Structure 1
Amino acid sequence: MAYDLEEQEQLDTLKATWKQYGNLITWTLIAALGSYAGWVQWNNYQRNQSGQASQLFEELSKSVAAKDAQKIQRVAADMKEKYPSTNYAAMAALTTAKAAYEASDLKTAKANLQWVIDSGKNEEYKALAKIRLAGVLLDEKAYEEALKVLSAEFPAELQAEVADRKADILVAQGNTAEAKKSYQLALDKMTDKSPAKQLVQLKLDALGGAVAQDKQ
């Protein structure tokens, strides 16, 4: 009998607790389950987006190999419109910019690089696009604009390339002293295994060699 009374008391307590907090518990569970379902759905959506974008990128790569400029731009435009949040969209824009640059279509190259800078989700791709855009602006003799693009913050692994590109622009401006400093900075940030190191050294040598160290 004592057991039955104790069980009844526990049941009464449970009923009272549920009466007081039942709605809160129910809605908390619904919210938790809804959040989990949303998370699962979002991840599935992202995987589908990435898979479809990768197929389009493969098509883009074939168009680049075939030098089909119109198809390259069409596929890249589709990727930027349909899958802008994927890395494949940024890769497509960078690839399209390179193909356009090699075809002397600087307008298309700039537009694609600017898209990566403005809309890309990957910071490294955005930084790479800025460096390449500065190179296009150098070809257009828009030196100040190019230097402005390079004045942004860049990841440590790209700072040598930034310094090299900045030096190229300074050379074009006739600012040899600052160009030498920038080439030297690029060399200092490169490892001995860097494939670009020899070329940067040649450019520095063409300006008269290493920068003289300031006396302390």
Structure 2
Amino acid sequence: MARHFDLEEQEQIAQFKHFWGTWGNLITWSVIVIMGALAAWNGYRYWQARQAQQAVAMLDAVQVAAQSNDLERVQQIFADLSKDYPRTVQAGVAGLLAGKEFANAGRWKESQASLRWVIDNSSEAGYSALARLRLAGVLIQEKSYDDALAQLSVSFPPEFAAIVADRKGDVLDLQGKKQDAIAEYRRAYDGLNEQLAYRQVVQAKLDALGAGVPAKEGA
């Protein structure tokens, strides 16, 4: 049996019909947009996870190839990884590894290409900074001292300041700019933790230039 609504209920129904007639389409489309956004976000998260899994597998393959000294395979896998998954952390790590392995083999051109890719594409500031440091080392080996200094003269994260100064000192020393080299080595020495063994290496460089390390006040 059909239910009969009282006057108050009929008024509420009429008000709802009026409200829905005015705002119904907007509400419906808003719900569709929200649900679509949620679906897209879930899809994006799945895509990210899938990319990360594949990138990890490819990085593992790069590491295995490097351990086997198969540089051609290192180059090929890194090329595929950097092309297919350029935004992943693994691509940056693979680029650093490839640059290091090629440098160890004296293949400066390939080393430069790998390191420059990291500099230009990595979203991790630390990876880009490390790639610049290694690239400067490669350029030093090629006696491209001005280019090496150019790489070391850009902005670096603060934690790299001491090692950048040390590398600058190396370049300036090779250019015969003794006083400038001493200034950079002292900056590096002052910036390194006293407990770090590398601080003694910097001190040895200063000693070799006849500069030594200034005595501390009150010593």
TM range (shorter): over 0.9
Comparing 145-154 with 98-107, greater Cα deviation is found at: 145-154
Among 111, 114, 117, which residue is 2:119 paired with? 117
Aligned to 2:147: 145
Gaps of 5+ in 1: none
Aligned to 2:204: 202
Aligned to 1:99: 101
2:31 equivalent to 1:29? yes
Given that residues 180 and 211 in structure 1 are in contact (C-alpha distance below 8 angstroms), is that contact kept between their aligned partners in structure 2?
A: no
Cα offsets for 1:77-128 (capped at 9, x unmatched): 1111111110101111110110000000000000000001111221111111
Measure how far apart 1:212 and its partner are. 9.3
Measure how far apart 1:196 and its partner are. 2.1
Given that residues 181 and 211 in structure 1 are in contact (C-alpha distance below 8 angstroms), is that contact kept between their aligned partners in structure 2?
A: no
2 CA distance for matches of 1:194 and 1:17? 73
Given that residues 183 and 200 in structure 1 are in contact (C-alpha distance below 8 angstroms), is that contact kept between their aligned partners in structure 2?
A: yes
Measure how far apart 1:144 and its partner are. 1.2
2 CA distance for matches of 1:77 and 1:44? 24
Gaps of 5+ in 2: none
Q: How does 1:50-199 map to 2 (within 5 A)?
A: 50-199=52-201
Give the secondary structure class of the aligned counterpart of 1:210. coil
2 CA distance for matches of 1:41 and 1:195? 49
Aligned to 1:17: 19
1 CA distance for matches of 2:202 and 2:93? 27
2 CA distance for matches of 1:146 and 1:40? 45
2 CA distance for matches of 1:196 and 1:32? 56
Given that residues 166 and 182 in structure 1 are in contact (C-alpha distance below 8 angstroms), is that contact kept between their aligned partners in structure 2?
A: yes
Given that residues 100 and 108 in structure 1 are in contact (C-alpha distance below 8 angstroms), is that contact kept between their aligned partners in structure 2?
A: yes
**Runs of 4 or more consecutive aligned structure 1 residues displaced over 6 Å after TM superposition:** none
Cα offsets for 1:130-170 (capped at 9, x unmatched): 11111111111111111111111111111111111111111
Measure how far apart 1:8 and its partner are. 2.4
Comparing 40-49 with 186-195, greater Cα deviation is found at: 186-195
Measure how far apart 1:27 and its partner are. 1.3
Identity of aligned residues (%): 41
Measure how far apart 1:210 and its partner are. 2.7
1 CA distance for matches of 2:45 and 2:195? 40
| 2:213 alignment partner AA | A
Comparing 152-161 with 191-200, greater Cα deviation is found at: 191-200
